[in-house]
Chain A
Amino acid sequence: MTACVGEPISWLRLEGFALGAPDPGIASHIAACATCRGCLDHIRADVVALPALEPAVRPVRRRRWMTPAFAAVGAAVLAAIAVIIVRDPAAGGPEALDAKLGAVAVKGVGEVTLELVRDRAGEIRHDASRYARGDRWKVVVTCPPAGAAWVEVSVSDGATTDHPLAPAQLVCGNRVVVPGAFSITGLGTNRVCASVAAAAGAPAATVCTSLRPE
């Protein structure tokens, strides 16, 4: 039994109905059509508990006395303080401020920026350099639109090298996510590298970063 008895209710309408949106037309059709009723049951049963999202940050209101000159002086003072108190990243202190994989120029592609994104129980961080059990990592690529990039990701713990993500040919754009995510296990520093080329087998440029355990 695969055919709808009349005009099928679209998945968008069914999902809205499953979320509680009032839709009088659906109830009578669902009562009469086992196929569409099965689709609604599939939607209701297909629940994937995604991790909680990071709360949105409200933009800070600018005060009237915040002139550009004052802002520049303040930024310089803060930067000077940051230089004085920044700790050695090799120590067990706060995470390094910049753990991006980096930017490279790739022949046939252009300027490519690669970034590691960490998902820790729903908290997304773009500057993470430490890993813990359960963290999910994704690689994000930014390259000139209308181009394409071949990306291969490797993770090495010094003894073995893994390729947790399938090599991917991406359509270039702003912050394009390499399909898939990976986790890091173990107790030591892992080196994550991403090689970028115009196509599989073409000359590649590689950028790496180190991830340390919490």
Chain B
Amino acid sequence: MLRSREDAVDVVHALFADLIPTWTPDVDLPYLYRAVTHRCLNLMRDRGTRARLLEREQTAAAPVGRVRLDDEVVGVGLVAALTERLDDGHLQVLVCRFVDDMTQDEIAAHLGVSRRTVGKRLDRIREAVTLLRREEAS
């Protein structure tokens, strides 16, 4: 999501450095996924980092977009733009659906919310993207 191996290593390093003092067997892959996604989104909220990521984003290196939001693949630029318009819950759903290619049922189980909540958040995400594109066009 960060399009930078060094930033990704730093995020994982920081996560494990924080986890080690309180290590429990409850730390599994889904937990690590949620924690890393949260930290990546925090990084992208930071304007300075966001500008740096966008400047060096390499679309050629991006994984194939298997799930699309209407006609577009959700890239770093769009996620970065939406960090200022959506809260944590919506951003997590955005990443899970359009970056990690999860189904709505998987997202509901992963985030511990109902499928209906996931659907509502996806609708809100689409509205935010439509509004963003409209503002860009004008």
Contact = CB atoms under 8 A, between A and B. Distances in A.
B12 A50 contact: yes
Nearest to A170: B46
A177 B11 CA distance: 9
Contacts of A54: 20
Describe B's contact surface by its main secondary structure: helix
Given A2-B66, A35-B64, A35-B66, A138 B10 contact: yes
B10 A8 contact: no
Interface size class of B (residues with CB under 8 A): 35 or more
A11 B16 CA distance: 21
A168 B10 contact: no
Contact of B48 (A38, A56, A167): A167
Interface in B67-94: 67
B13 A119 contact: yes
A18 to B, nearest CB: 10
A12 B20 contact: no
Given A19-B29, A35-B64, A39-B64, A12 B49 contact: no
Nearest to B8: A48
A7 to B, nearest CB: 7
A3 B66 contact: yes
Interface residues of A, number: 40
A181 interface: yes
A36 B46 CA distance: 32
A186 interface: no
B86 to A, nearest CB: 15
Nearest to B99: A11
Nearest to A21: B29
Interface in B86-138: 96, 99-103, 106, 110
Nearest to B73: A2
B89 to A, nearest CB: 16
A12 B33 contact: yes
A10 B65 contact: no
A169 B64 contact: no
A50 B46 CA distance: 25
Interface of B: 5-10, 12-14, 16-18, 20-21, 23, 29-30, 33, 42-43, 45-49, 52, 63-67, 96, 99-103, 106, 110
10 shortest interchain CB distances as A-B pairs? A8-B66, A10-B102, A56-B23, A177-B14, A8-B101, A11-B100, A4-B66, A10-B101, A168-B48, A2-B64
Interface of A: 2-4, 7-13, 15-16, 19, 35-36, 38-39, 42, 48, 50, 53-54, 56-57, 117, 119, 124, 138, 166-171, 175-177, 179-181
Given A53-B16, A56-B21, A56-B23, 12 more contacts: A2-B66, A10-B96, A10-B101, A10-B102, A12-B33, A39-B66, A48-B9, A119-B17, A138-B10, A138-B13, A171-B45, A179-B43
